[in-house]
Amino acid sequence: MTKKYDVIVIGAGPGGLTAALYASRANLSVAILDRGIYGGQMNNTAEIENYPGFESIMGPELGEKMFASSTRFGAEFLYGTVSKIEQKGDQKIVTTDEETYETSVVIIATGSEYKKIGVPGEDEYSGRGVSYCAVCDGAFFKDQDVVVIGGGDSAVEEGVYLTQMAKSVTIVHRRDQLRAQQILQDRAFKNDKIKFVWNALTDEIQGDGNEVTGVKYHDKETGEEHVLPASGAFIYVGIQPLTDAFEDLGILDEQGWIDTNDNMETKIPGVYAIGDVRKKELRQITTAVGDGGIAGQQAFNYIQTLSD
């Protein structure tokens, strides 16, 4: 039998958890669906020091705290990978791999996933030296040399984190300037364990058939090729939206991000999008949380109009 809710939130990252808190506290029946554990990208983040109220907090711990808040007013957490949303009059039908749900409001908070760099060896050695998550895998590289590829916030922040266990961290970036926030750059430049390789295009993750042994790159300007010996290659070259399931709704931009207005409304009444999955400038926990609060409240307003 199809289960019914006032609001279904898809994704239990900081955005989705906040939307669920607001909607359930307004006395709506709310289900939060996630294909994995709650917390979203915060589970892949070592230390968060730009979320107000905490000088510094581990990502998974902040996820635990948000989950406890968001389920306090009765929101249910359910496992499931959403594959489709369909409209049925005012109602929406949300389909997962195992269940079908009916709801008045859908709040899409599916966030993003890491991009691959697309070089030989990346897939072959994934989980055997190639990683996209320093928090998950950093401990395997105690006293070893690791390479981080990328120049944004993730590469620099997680590179600094890796210095706590690795012998050395070499950040390989394709330009001669980092994209990361200044405070993260300053911290990395001050850290003796971190070296930088500039204007370097990664060509291959090399290995011995079993695990990673190095990263091959060439200098963009001189064309010279080099190999950095390393047992770990952490790849942080950006993110892409997780929106395949919503392609049929006609709410995506050309890159797959979801278009909304300031009230987090998509062009479909009763369908909202929040957090990283939304087309926006600043993708952060604070902005996901802000979006979630707005959408949770808008859900209440929208449901009032249905009963008028």
* Catalytic sites, residue numbers: 133, 136-137
Choice between 8 and 212, CB closer to ligand FAD:
8
The nearest distance, CB 12 to ligand NAP, in angstroms, is 18
Site string for ligand FAD, 32-71 (x = CB under 6 A): -xxxx---xxx-xx--x-x---------------------
| Interface with ligand NAP in residues 219-248 (CB under 6 A) | 236-239
| Residue 295 in the binding site for ligand FAD (CB under 6 A) | no
The Cα 214–Cα 109 span in angstroms is 37
| Residue 285 in the binding site for ligand FAD (CB under 6 A) | yes
**Stretches 18-26, 55-63, 71-79, 148-156: which one binds ligand NAP (CB under 6 A)?**
148-156
Strand bridging mode 82-88 / 91-96 = antiparallel
Structure tokens at 117: 């760099």
| Residue 35 in the binding site for ligand NAP (CB under 6 A) | no
| Residue 81 in the binding site for ligand FAD (CB under 6 A) | yes
Max distance between CA atoms of the chain, in angstroms, equals: 70
**Which does residue 200 touch among ligand NAP, ligand FAD, none (CB within 5 to 8 A, set by kind)?**
none
Give residue 282's Cα distance to chain centre.
Answer: 13
| Residue 242 in the binding site for ligand FAD (CB under 6 A) | yes
Q: List the Cα angle 156/160/162 in 5-degree steps.
A: 115
| Residue 245 in the binding site for ligand FAD (CB under 6 A) | yes
| Residue 154 in the binding site for ligand FAD (CB under 6 A) | yes
| Residue 117 in the binding site for ligand NAP (CB under 6 A) | yes
Choice between 119 and 134, CB closer to ligand FAD:
134
3-state secondary structure the chain: CCEEEEEEEECCCHHHHHHHHHHHHCCCCEEEEECCCCCHHHHHCCEECCCCCCCCEEHHHHHHHHHHHHCCCCCEEEECCEEEEEEECCEEEEEECCCEEEEEEEEECCCEEECCCCCCCCCCCECCCEECCHHHHHHHHCCCEEEEECCCHHHHHHHHHHCCCCCEEEEECCCCCCCCCHHHHHHHHHCCCEEEECCEEEEEEEECCCCEEEEEEEECCCCCEEEEECCEEEECCCEEECCHHHHHHCCECCCCCECCCCCCECCCCCEEECHHHECCCCCCHHHHHHHHHHHHHHHHHHHHHHHC
Taking CB under 6 A as the criterion, the residue among 154, 170, 206, 287 binding ligand NAP is: 154
> By CB under 6 A, how many residues form the interface with ligand NAP?
19
Choice between 6 and 276, CB closer to ligand FAD:
276
Choice between 34 and 265, CB closer to ligand FAD:
34
**Which does residue 233 touch among ligand FAD, ligand NAP, none (CB within 5 to 8 A, set by kind)?**
none
Residues in contact with ligand NAP by CB under 6 A are: 50, 117, 149-155, 157, 174-175, 179, 236-239, 283-284
Residues in contact with ligand FAD by CB under 6 A are: 10-16, 33-36, 40-42, 44-45, 48, 50, 81-82, 109-112, 154, 157-158, 242, 245, 275-277, 283-286, 288
